[in-house]
Structure 1
Amino acid sequence: MAFYGIFFFYIIFWTAVVSPTPILNRGYIPKTNNIDFTIEKVTLAPDGFTRQLSTVNGQFPGPTIEVNKGDRILMKIRNKLGESTAMHAHGMLQRGTPWFDGVPWMAQCVIPDDYEFTYNFTVADQVGTHWYHAHETMQYVDGVFGALIIHDPDDPFKSEYDEEIIVMLNDYHHTNAQILLKQFLTPESHGEEVRKIDISTKAPPGSKCVDNAGLAKFEFVKDKKYRLRIINTSAFSAFFFSIDKHDMEVIEADGLYTKRNKIHRLPINVAQRYSVIVTANQPVDNYIMRSEFQKTINLPNIKAIVHYEGAPDDPEPKDNPWSDSLTEYVDLDHKTLQPLEEEKIPESTKKFEFKIDFHKNSTGVVKAFLNNSSYIPDINFPTLDKIFKKKSFNETSANAYIFDKDGEVVDMYFINSDDGEHPFHIHGYQFWVLGTGNGDKVDENELNTHNPIKRDTATIPASG
């Protein structure tokens, strides 16, 4: 993948955070968690290549937030970036606090440079694996992101694993994201076409590099069981995640428990999260943890090492990849990925149909269009403020679709004419995934209305 002569290095950045399973009980008293974040630019070399990154407290990725179900989060943001920012807690429903959702010009105005702002919200009924990230321009691509974990005192699987490990996948670039965005939004870039072009993986001459970065290493103990919390924090790429010779059992998708679902390889799109249980039941040795790029991004597999306690160090374990063939690129089968507890699906009261298209706008730049309209934010009048002041949405570019009354249940149909898949996320909501298919027609008889999976980020397939 190349931006027509603009060099960048496209890799997965692995982050391991190990914590003992928290001991909670039904008598747990919720508490307030004070989170103090300074957002600033720092020179680092997380993969050996030295560059300036936007960071949270000088770290890449940012610190992990760990709270318990029912807790309150007070997240103070000190903006020292030299530009405005905003912070989104991805997956948080923000019931009663939509102004703390962190979307500029939608939920709030931006946080100016050299200014402090505190997000204040509770996680009353939410659990599981989430993440936080800057939501202004491309800041999270340059490093303003981190894991957000909500532990559950009533976790139905807590007796089935010994430790937790957070695994963050990221398509990390060597060039500042603002430069890449500027190049991307030119008539010459052809927009999404950049995803299909090979790129060089070598640093340019004269680069300052650290030659001992090595592969990330995850420590396993023989016969222990691990809950891997896997988060795709990338800008562009979906991945296939796996560990050689180790089965995985999915138990969570986007903060909601699932029935145990044994797999070898996990497809995970941008902003999706899964928990899987992995048992260290192989001979004491070193094994490869791998993420595979989509085939349209012609890059080699990216590897980390699973090192069993007692095994000799091995910088290059033998390759033993799973040979399963997975469709490129769709989510885990919505008919087999099922919620742990069955829910009765309510009858819909309204239907929205959206056509997704990518084509050139009046200036020759490829943009995304929804029902022939490309969204333009009103930087003088945020959407939420308009709602509170009962203002109308007259501009087509607002892409506003209105719920007329409380309690409506909406069926949303997306027809994707683009030849690339797209992750779809709704802020403040979780939705049931009833089905996907090819072409521009949906066979309503094939929709799964009996116990479908609920999540907050799903993949809309290419040309489907």
Structure 2
Amino acid sequence: MARQGNFYWGSLFLLLGFVGFISLPAEAAVKKYQFDIQVKNVSRLCHAKPIVTVNGMFPGPTIYVREGDNVLINVTNHAQYNMSIHWHGLKQFRNGWADGPAYITQCPIKTGHSYTYNFNVTGQRGTLWWHAHILWLRATVYGAIVIMPKEGTPFPFPQPYREATLILGEWWNTDVEEVVRQGNNLGLPPQMSDAHTINGKPGPLFPCSEKHTYVMEVEQGKTYLLRIINAALNDELFFAIAGHNMTVVEIDAVYTKPFTTQALLIAPGQTTNVLVQADQVAGRYFMATRPFMDVPLAIDNKTATAILQYKGIPNTVLPILPQLPAPNDTTFAMSYNKKLKSLNSPQFPANIPLKVDRHLFYTIGLGMNPCPTCQNGTQLTASLNNITFVMPRIGLLQAHYFSLKGVFRTDFPDRPPIPFNYTGAPLTANLGTSLGTRLSKISFNSTVELVLQDTNLLTVESHPFHLHGYNFFVVGTGVGNFDPAKDPAKFNLVDPPERNTIGVPTGGWTAIRFKADNPGVWFMHCHLELHTMWGLKMAFVVEDGKGPNQSVLPPPKDLPTC
């Protein structure tokens, strides 16, 4: 792999359309990267437009590290927007200062300023990703993180011949921040995206995009590892490869019990690794993605494509399209998710909390609030337990660490104030939604069970939730209202999937468990950027423990100021 400056240019072979081996130092090391945030003109459909990029690349550079490495990433902001970068899925043990969400663990990096993210990769290996965590800038500011196992530790599945990273995204023909501003002025959702993309390219099914197609070349009889990331802002996505099965072996950088599927479902924020055998008649085959949406909401439903091309086959051969599930195929979605299980082997155990210290129940609600400054006089809102989160003006972790008063309260309720038929007939009332920067305080090393319950306030909808600083076990899920008397008896406490992002099903619920052994302030939010913007978010304050390595580390000297 070619090297330039402090970068491993692992994405170079993706831009060329080929797959390459990864060569990393044998032992854990310090890895240094330089991220320059800048604006660059990029064309993806019929015209070029300026977008915010990292090092002029879209998608941004892939970070290659090995388990045990120390990583230093200096981010210099040359764009007109304030910036912060989140390293999605990295646990950042005791080190929330490197987590990245603006006004949660840091103030953003101002234009013309720099900040060095300094973190260790401990006890994790697999596919994660990084993205902007302020405004809607992650529409173009994102890239992959590939964590190789420790030297001498093989994959718990057949060694692939080669591998490639596929990042699924969304594309707007206009400035996405201007789109958001216009939507807010109206009190309505912003305009939907104009295209989906695979590695930043929509594929030949879109006008003016013949040259904007990612091509992956394979050799007959070889096995390939695909690292698939959903970087879309607002869409759960199906993915399939014409004529080829996929064997799922990892989700969210955690190994799974392998199973074979013709298509997969991946929510925004999630990653999925699959093995693909090049065992079909030599030719050209479309890899395709399009949204899953099982309620009648307006979405960009066009199909983005890339090409899996057998070596020696000319570009004149027409690719074959795969059979993707129908856009509203709830049955496939539920069936696919039920197949996901932790590997739970002696080498990679699933340490599920069996005893629960704290039971939490959070309702997910959408609503409509008066808005005198909006053209329509109303504004859409979102809430957890009827609380719409208000972003502070200083980093919550700073306020917690330095005991600053008046920045947040720690009285986020453990359950909704008013029980009701959560998934019954559509409700238009907000049920007393209130605004506030309210956090939930969690004792160090306590075990937490959280049930996330979708509601029919305005409409039911699937919600992918991401918890910063932790992985969690998805012990149960179901449709309708969670029944605390009957549903826990059906929990999987043997090999549930371990994730950092989970989709709460439309009109249903999901139960997760985790051990609060990482002190600090940790964000939890819907990974649909639209809903996060409307307030569908909160944060946990995990208290320090009493031991010498059980408290938040001191902040770095170059931590940005507000």
TM-score tier by shorter-chain length is 0.7 to 0.9
- Per the alignment, residue 149 of structure 2 pairs with 152
Q: How far apart, in 2, do the equivalents of 1:83 and 1:199 lie?
A: 23
- Per the alignment, residue 556 of structure 2 pairs with none
- Per the alignment, residue 462 of structure 1 pairs with 506
Q: How far apart, in 2, do the equivalents of 1:146 and 1:214 lie?
A: 18
Q: How far apart, in 2, do the equivalents of 1:82 and 1:344 lie?
A: 45
Which letter maps to 2:163?
Answer: E
Indicate whether 1:355 and 2:363 are aligned: yes
**Distance of aligned partners of 1:254 and 1:402 in 2 relative to their CA distance in 1, 3 Å threshold:** same
CA contact (8 A) 2:409 2:438 kept: no
- Per the alignment, residue 345 of structure 1 pairs with 352
SS of the residue corresponding to residue 434 of structure 1 reads strand
Q: How far apart, in 2, do the equivalents of 1:17 and 1:72 lie?
A: 29
Which letter maps to 2:84?
Answer: A
- Per the alignment, residue 162 of structure 1 pairs with 161
**Distance of aligned partners of 1:139 and 1:23 in 2 relative to their CA distance in 1, 3 Å threshold:** closer
CA contact (8 A) 2:265 2:336 kept: no
Q: How far apart, in 2, do the equivalents of 1:328 and 1:54 lie?
A: 38
**Distance of aligned partners of 1:82 and 1:186 in 2 relative to their CA distance in 1, 3 Å threshold:** closer
What does 1:242-321 correspond to in 2, within 5 Å? Answer: 242-295=240-293, 296=297, 297=299, 299-314=301-316, 316-321=318-323
Q: How far apart, in 2, do the equivalents of 1:159 and 1:450 lie?
A: 24
What does 1:43-54 correspond to in 2, within 5 Å? Answer: 43-54=41-52
**Distance of aligned partners of 1:158 and 1:73 in 2 relative to their CA distance in 1, 3 Å threshold:** farther
Deviates more, 1:317-326 or 1:226-235: 317-326
**Distance of aligned partners of 1:47 and 1:315 in 2 relative to their CA distance in 1, 3 Å threshold:** farther
- Per the alignment, residue 385 of structure 1 pairs with 398
Residues 4-46 of structure 1: per-residue CA shift (max 9 Å, x gap): xxxxxxxxxx97673315477xxx4211111011101111114
**TM-score normalized with structure 1 length:** 0.87
- Per the alignment, residue 216 of structure 2 pairs with 218
Q: How far apart, in 2, do the equivalents of 1:382 and 1:317 lie?
A: 50
SS of the residue corresponding to residue 239 of structure 1 reads strand
CA contact (8 A) 1:335 1:448 kept: no
- Structure 1: 5+ residue runs without aligned partners? 1-13, 202-208
- Per the alignment, residue 204 of structure 1 pairs with none
CA contact (8 A) 1:334 1:435 kept: no
Which of these residues, 399, 409, 412, is aligned with residue 438 of structure 2?
Answer: 399
CA RMSD of aligned residues (A): 2.6
**Distance of aligned partners of 1:225 and 1:147 in 2 relative to their CA distance in 1, 3 Å threshold:** same
**Distance of aligned partners of 1:187 and 1:463 in 2 relative to their CA distance in 1, 3 Å threshold:** farther
Which letter maps to 1:448?
Answer: N
Residues 339-392 of structure 1: per-residue CA shift (max 9 Å, x gap): 11242422111111111111123422112111111111111x321122213356
Indicate whether 1:73 and 2:114 are aligned: no
Indicate whether 1:373 and 2:377 are aligned: no
SS of the residue corresponding to residue 435 of structure 1 reads strand
CA contact (8 A) 1:79 1:111 kept: yes
Identity, in percent, stands at: 27
**Distance of aligned partners of 1:187 and 1:77 in 2 relative to their CA distance in 1, 3 Å threshold:** same
CA contact (8 A) 1:222 1:281 kept: yes
Deviates more, 1:64-73 or 1:293-302: 293-302
Which letter maps to 2:500?
Answer: D
Q: How far apart, in 1, do the equivalents of 2:392 and 2:334 lie?
A: 34
SS of the residue corresponding to residue 124 of structure 2 reads coil
**Distance of aligned partners of 1:434 and 1:77 in 2 relative to their CA distance in 1, 3 Å threshold:** same
Q: CA deviation at 1:127?
A: 0.8
Q: How far apart, in 1, do the equivalents of 2:351 and 2:92 lie?
A: 24
CA contact (8 A) 1:166 1:229 kept: yes
CA contact (8 A) 1:268 1:331 kept: no
Which letter maps to 1:179?
Answer: E
SS of the residue corresponding to residue 374 of structure 1 reads strand
Indicate whether 1:336 and 2:339 are aligned: yes
Q: CA deviation at 1:144?
A: 1.1
Q: CA deviation at 1:148?
A: 1.0
Q: How far apart, in 2, do the equivalents of 1:435 and 1:333 lie?
A: 14
**Distance of aligned partners of 1:32 and 1:320 in 2 relative to their CA distance in 1, 3 Å threshold:** closer
SS of the residue corresponding to residue 59 of structure 2 reads coil
Which letter maps to 1:399?
Answer: R
- Per the alignment, residue 9 of structure 1 pairs with none
- Structure 2: 5+ residue runs without aligned partners? 1-13, 197-206, 372-377, 411-434, 509-562
**Distance of aligned partners of 1:87 and 1:298 in 2 relative to their CA distance in 1, 3 Å threshold:** closer
Q: How far apart, in 2, do the equivalents of 1:146 and 1:88 lie?
A: 11
- Per the alignment, residue 465 of structure 2 pairs with 424
CA contact (8 A) 1:344 1:451 kept: no
SS of the residue corresponding to residue 316 of structure 1 reads coil
Q: CA deviation at 1:222?
A: 0.5
Number of aligned residues? 434
CA contact (8 A) 1:69 1:151 kept: yes
